[in-house]
Structure 1
């Protein structure tokens, strides 16, 4: 059954008071998640903790579309469309190098991408949206999604299970340590890049290191390929309109110091936003490899695996969010309208289906300078406060549109 409609919108100061009233609990919740990080598709404890909180605060509908992750709904009015808020919940296979009381207790696993904070912010927004009865045009759907990090990731599977049904807008968040605390990035258009994994295997007859002219020197050929492909990006693709970033990150070959190897494996990533540039690169890269095979006397097998597409922030939705942030926001905040990042995020799958917006929250302070995916990454609790307040303020604004 839906909740009764609110008769008058809450004042901004009332939202702030409500957020401050739950900050101790939310901070403790985030620190608990940080102590117990779980890898992609293994977020069982995390899911249970979120579910327990949502149940304790009386959300109307809570369900698990997949084995891990869950959805909680605040249903104000039967049949109303939804605003969707997505948080990713998985951690990284990375040791926690911080000296803090909430340091990871799971060796080799930590929340170095801020998903514990994303989860906590959306949990706080869900709890308070219901408690404060922020009713209006929309019902609210909070998606706590597993497995944002791997390829394939969790977003398409959640979407297959119907989480976008009846959704008008989808909103997501990400921490951004390159922006100072108190900054919120609301940028229209393309705001990040797609990540495509490249895997190559070079094979040849092998041979003695004293006689490279008699065989295919795979290390030399691989180094040529890396250099030539880097140059190809800058000399054959128009990078003025959108970037293309090619980086090779792994190379494995050889078992003896005086033996030219028979096999070499190479891995890298291609990051871009423009699908046409992707097709152009893949065609030219294939031609480059064919030429290398012909001149180098080796065989090259290669494949690519596409990760999440680039995120497109709907300009009309971003305009609404900017408009709301400029109206009576109860604390000082700086709105950045141009920030973009080369990183990938599978929120793009939601934003590809419905108008969406990825909101980035600056987290850098004098004592919090580590980057994402670093073992020392951490954030101040004030960013939780800002995140919850921001989304409650947006809910209140969008409900009246």
Structure 2
């Protein structure tokens, strides 16, 4: 089996699973309970929080646990909108955000908020100039992803941050779900950012766990009401085993991060250059510093993306049609549509997404199968 769908989800690391199991068995108390079993679980919870904060360069009190990227994006966007509604109801985002961002925006529009969707250029990048021109007196939030999940374009977070330096009352949210662990922190970690979103299952942690960064002094309206966990920010009994496992996964992710990213980059370069040598193909993920090292979006022209995915699957090779969150719906890539890509091309798009465990041998086998599949469809067409 060759698994090249790591942007959809990663396989849990074996040692991370052992941490999860050990915590489930030995730290089963409720962290809010007053007895020693509760205290034991609470100590593990806070140790994990500190470890995650240290690894990311945050303060422990700036890390709040969630169930993953979708909850994190929903909470930050809606929580900011509700908290700051007396100051304005205008939000700025991009036209290529993840569905959890886009659908949160649509929900807020139904509640009377106004949203400006910034266009992207032909390479899938927003313009900081466009963002500056979109700012209004009633703008309360800017939400821009760090790395696009469909083609891997890295957005100009620092340029946007410098613009927002002049607007301290506008909250700045960055969805970092696809960016973490790719040795590109220098491109999206910025002191002007108020909120980040991260999801554990994107870096070999269990599903259903994630965390947000919430800059000291910033506020969010809670969406989960109840027992007041996470400093009254996010109620619900904490998933202590998954949190401990996520801390372990993040520590492993950060070990030799530069070498891991370089490995992914070499594999990406090999694949992109090979696809570019084939007739009737398009590659949307560039070999440049403003693209992530692990995502390759391409087409075999005239063949629908889901057909290509299932053809590879029949050979025990797993890729996806752009975003996994919308792939089953058979929709064209929302990112490629925003890039003014013709619909016929956009519906042919597929995504290969790598991680540090993928090998040169796997890439060679993938390319061999790609050539056979490409030739097959050229004959049919």
TM (normalized to structure 1)?
0.27
Which of the pair is proportionally richer in helix?
2
Which of the pair is proportionally richer in strand?
1
TM (normalized to structure 2)?
0.28
